[in-house]
Structure 1
Amino acid sequence: MGHSSQQIKSGFIWSALDSFGNQAIGLVISLTLANLLGPSAYGLVAMLTIFIAIAAVFVNSGFNSALIRKVDRNEKDYSTTFYFSFAVSIICYLLLFFCAPLIADFYEQPELTLLTRVIALVIIIQTLAVIPRTKLTVEINFKSQAKANVVALVCSGTVGLIMAFNGYGVWSLVFQQLTNAIISVAMLNLLSPWKPVEKFCKQAFKELFGFGSKLLAAGLLDTIYNNLYGLIIGKQFSAAQLGIFNQANSLSTMPATMITGVIQKVTYPMLSNMQGDTNQLDKAYLLTLKIATMLIFPIMFGICIIAKPLIAILLGEQWQDSAQLISILTMALALYPIHAINLNMLQVKGRSDLFLKLEIIKKAIITISLVITVPMGIVEMCIGMVVTSYLALIVNTYYAGQLSSVSQLNQLAALLPIAIITLISATVGYVVGSEFSSNIASIILMLTVALTCYATLMFILQKSLVLETKKLLRGA
């Protein structure tokens, strides 16, 4: 069943409120905790991120995307997905529980044994919300998800802050994550009640896994490599240095994933319903790319130019080394929505096999980059991330272009003018604002000049895109 323009508009609005509201609240909480706890505590939790993330990939196994894409989904599909996810979550938790001492030995951090066994409980807890969240996404009902996420974030943030103020150190971050998982599950099941009413169905499993297995393999590769930098830094350097890198990566990633998430959550089910109309699908696909680029590029370049004075104000001297890393990483993450939307198209087209092939190619590029940059240091590793991001863009746009009329050259022609406008605007803003000694004055002037320049050039040179976006947001 297709989605009306009103549903799509509402989906964008509530998805945006969900993402922006959560990120705003989360940012305040995160910055406060960072000042209270310091880089070392964040570094310890970051050491475990890769293991929790890998477990989450196995628990999901691509079933979520398979369910959203499937037009004739039914209760057998939902029940089968739940039983499978819950069983896998138990297995993953037990593996982490018994491997916890090995993880602690690997990093030479004895306290990681207990930390692993406690924080890994989120893997089991989160499976209880898999189906309610999927059903709400299929319905493009992000209003309920926004409510659940905000309540969970506020409650978990409060727990983390109270524990941090009372000297619980790294455990403040652990119980913050556990509380968030518990409250989120409770809220989603309250707002979208669901329980399995069918038995496990082998036929449903084969169908969902047939599509999801490729996404599982691709997701596993992507998760390992996304967290590989943290794994290497945690092993080769100190917990404090990992904390600084992780904070820089988190702050750089936040706006990119936030905006991309808003667009993806709404457009994936929307595009999936356009599978039968190739012309309409391709037009919506290219417009989505242009709008995402128009939104994310000025934000990422803006963060790049103000990183140094911003970190000085928000986090202080102990985190100052993260400013340089943020300026570098934002150049890579500016491309994040373009990557994600191109990969979305492969899923919409049902080409999860090609999705996996792309991930293997890109991970080979990352491996070469790591071999070259790890001996040089953390800054060089971040520069390598920028290079690999641009190389990955070439691969993603090429293969996505083979499945639609939106070729690699079409994307380049549509997006390059926006990139050039952004680069010119950011450069002008930086040159003008960097003359001030006051951090606050420097930030205000840089952003004011850059955004004014960007808005002016966009309206002059990309007027049709600006007006089309305005029309879309109005629901016309």
Structure 2
Amino acid sequence: MEQESLKSKTVKGIGWSFADNISGSGISFLVGLVLARLLTPNEYGLIGIITIFIAVFNSIVDSGFSNALIRKKNAGNIDYNTVFTFNLLLSIALFAVLYVCAPRISRFFYQPELVSLIRVMSIIIVINAFAIIQRTILVRKVDFKTQTKVSFIASMTSGVIGIGMAIGECGVWSLVGQQISRQLLNTLFLWVFNTWRPVLQFSIKSFRELFSFGWKLLVSSLIDTVWKEIYQVVIGKYYTTESLGQYTRAKQFCDIFSSNLTSVVQRVSYPVLSTIQGERERLKQAYKRVIKTTMLITFVCMLGLAAMAKSIILVLIGEQWLPAVVYLQIICFSAMFYPLHAINLNMLQVNGRSDLFLKLEVVKKVIAVGPLLLGIFVHVIWMLWGSVLVGFVSYYLNSYYSGRDLNYGIREQIKNIAPSFFIAGLMAIVVYALSFVPVSVFILLPVQLLVGTSVVVVVGEISKIEEYIEVKQIALSVIRKITSR
């Protein structure tokens, strides 16, 4: 009964978390398709530079406290108020730092327009600080239904604002307006739908307890965020803002599947697995199940996206974004392992090994210096292929240490995910071969989607692998609920 309750909680959490991400990132992605036809790669490149600093500073503001609160079984108001106060004060300080440093950042990238853009967009850091605890409380409850409502309202409204500004010829400020309004509305409605309210309270004891676990995750998150964004720094500094715009657009296409799926897996598996952190065998089985099911979906999405990259780019955003095709295909090969990294690293956190989590991040980022040097001295394409190789090495390290405690190492993991990779690989080969058929891309894209889906379903039905059956059952369950309503 308890096992079934955990499964039900996980399935519901994944369903609503996925809906939350689709409501947020999915709608923003669709809005982005419209904006991509109204704006230029250069304008996207300017925003790409600013998001580097916003992402890094947001990681600092969180300081690892969110995960520390989620993991703490008896977290209470004193903990929430302490973290809220710290997050808010730190966000104001970082906003001031970014405001003052805007001219220097502008000179570094040789882009005078960045000064005013940075100073306006940096308010997102403070707005986000108001949302951290509200979101953390909902994650602890595995309540992604509320977050889905919030994401839908914020994304739809901000999308209308962004498109309206673009039609009004506001240029790059259309993207600024969209991003600020989305974060502002998201925060506002988290407060509307959530009952928790802060009071003026700060506990040194609570701070020390949470920080003793969270600081290692902060450093790890900071290192990881900087490295994710540093490719944009290299492209923005050593190439053109147009090249950066092409890269960021390709990454956004990939992220709609990979990063969103990674986010879903992290947000749901961490609080759920934390509830059984002391039950070794049960934890291993849950861990294995999450990996097998997640990687079937990930391999199909990422390899399928790589195979259809050119058709998708041409149909959805036009020929001016054609250089993004190669970037997208390479990024997909790298990103297909992101959810697997997330699951393995979550296990380290569930087991309280934030120290090992930090050590692994340091080692992996030292290895990742190689691709950056290729980007600086050779070419951006070589940098991206280098990141694919680093991804394989990183997976080996993550799985070795996370699986060691549960006796579920890399060999068994690869054995478990190999059938999913075979199905996705076969599908990708068939779909990519169709791209050589001399027909309009507007005909080719739906044909590729139909054929790709058919290959996955037919091979899945013939092989009847466990993960395919589980994904099929979840999908049918969702369809039944929708049709019954």
2:202 counterpart SS class = coil
Q: Which amino acid aligns with 2:99?
A: F
CA-to-aligned-CA distance 1:285-330 (integer Å, 9 cap, x gap): 0110001111111111111111112111111121110011111111
Residue 86 of structure 2 corresponds to residue 76 of structure 1: no
Q: Which amino acid aligns with 1:258?
A: N
Q: Could you tell which deviates more after superposition, 272-281 or 362-371?
A: 362-371
- In structure 2, relative to structure 1, the CA distance for the partners of 1:335 and 1:118 (3 Å cut) is same
Residue 53 of structure 2 corresponds to residue 56 of structure 1: no
- How far has the Cα of 1:419 moved from its partner? 1.0
Answer whether contact 1:433 1:445 (CA < 8 A) is retained: no
- In structure 2, relative to structure 1, the CA distance for the partners of 1:454 and 1:332 (3 Å cut) is same
1:448 counterpart SS class = helix
- In structure 2, relative to structure 1, the CA distance for the partners of 1:349 and 1:370 (3 Å cut) is same
- In structure 2, relative to structure 1, the CA distance for the partners of 1:172 and 1:369 (3 Å cut) is same
Q: Distance in 1 between matches of 2:271 and 2:125?
A: 26
CA-to-aligned-CA distance 1:395-449 (integer Å, 9 cap, x gap): 1111111221211111011012211221122112222443132112222232323
Q: Which amino acid aligns with 1:266?
A: V
- How far has the Cα of 1:359 moved from its partner? 0.7
**What does residue 108 of structure 2 align with?**
106
- How far has the Cα of 1:114 moved from its partner? 1.0
2:377 counterpart SS class = coil
Answer whether contact 1:298 1:451 (CA < 8 A) is retained: no
**What does residue 341 of structure 2 align with?**
339
- How far has the Cα of 1:469 moved from its partner? 4.2
Say how many residue pairs are matched: 475
Q: Distance in 2 between matches of 1:190 and 1:142?
A: 15
**What does residue 366 of structure 1 align with?**
368
Which of residues 215, 229, 232 in structure 2 aligns to 1:227? 229
Q: Distance in 1 between matches of 2:276 and 2:16?
A: 22
CA-to-aligned-CA distance 1:199-244 (integer Å, 9 cap, x gap): 2100100010001000011011001110001001101111111101
Which of residues 309, 312, 327 in structure 2 aligns to 1:310? 312
CA-to-aligned-CA distance 1:240-279 (integer Å, 9 cap, x gap): 1110111111111220111222222222111000112111
Answer whether contact 2:219 2:358 (CA < 8 A) is retained: yes
Q: Distance in 2 between matches of 1:436 and 1:301?
A: 22
**What does residue 404 of structure 1 align with?**
406
- How far has the Cα of 1:8 moved from its partner? 3.2
**What does residue 293 of structure 1 align with?**
295
Q: Which amino acid aligns with 1:273?
A: T
Correspondence 1:272-291 to 2 at 5 A: 272-291=274-293
Q: Distance in 2 between matches of 1:4 and 1:78?
A: 26
Correspondence 1:412-423 to 2 at 5 A: 412-423=414-425
Q: Distance in 2 between matches of 1:437 and 1:378?
A: 31
RMSD after superposition: 1.8
CA-to-aligned-CA distance 1:120-154 (integer Å, 9 cap, x gap): 00100111111111111111111110111111111
Residue 191 of structure 2 corresponds to residue 200 of structure 1: no
Answer whether contact 1:75 1:198 (CA < 8 A) is retained: no
**What does residue 45 of structure 2 align with?**
43
**What does residue 482 of structure 2 align with?**
none
Answer whether contact 1:373 1:384 (CA < 8 A) is retained: no
CA-to-aligned-CA distance 1:137-184 (integer Å, 9 cap, x gap): 111111110111111111111111111111111111111111111111
Equivalent pairs: percent with the same residue?
Answer: 35
Q: Distance in 1 between matches of 2:179 and 2:452?
A: 37
Q: Could you tell which deviates more after superposition, 430-439 or 228-237?
A: 430-439
Q: Could you tell which deviates more after superposition, 368-377 or 295-304?
A: 368-377
- In structure 2, relative to structure 1, the CA distance for the partners of 1:4 and 1:409 (3 Å cut) is closer
Gaps of 5+ in 2: 479-485
Residue 393 of structure 2 corresponds to residue 391 of structure 1: yes
Answer whether contact 1:253 1:330 (CA < 8 A) is retained: no
Q: Distance in 2 between matches of 1:106 and 1:198?
A: 41
Which of residues 247, 250, 253 in structure 2 aligns to 1:251? 253
Q: Distance in 2 between matches of 1:198 and 1:178?
A: 27
Correspondence 1:236-247 to 2 at 5 A: 236-247=238-249
Answer whether contact 2:299 2:424 (CA < 8 A) is retained: yes
**What does residue 382 of structure 2 align with?**
380
- How far has the Cα of 1:24 moved from its partner? 3.1
Q: Which amino acid aligns with 2:382?
A: E
Q: Could you tell which deviates more after superposition, 419-428 or 445-454?
A: 445-454
Q: Which amino acid aligns with 1:67?
A: L
Answer whether contact 2:24 2:154 (CA < 8 A) is retained: no
Q: Distance in 2 between matches of 1:343 and 1:394?
A: 12
- How far has the Cα of 1:22 moved from its partner? 2.8
**What does residue 86 of structure 1 align with?**
88
Residue 447 of structure 2 corresponds to residue 450 of structure 1: no
Q: Distance in 1 between matches of 2:6 and 2:411?
A: 32
Q: Distance in 2 between matches of 1:434 and 1:283?
A: 43
Q: Which amino acid aligns with 1:60?
A: D
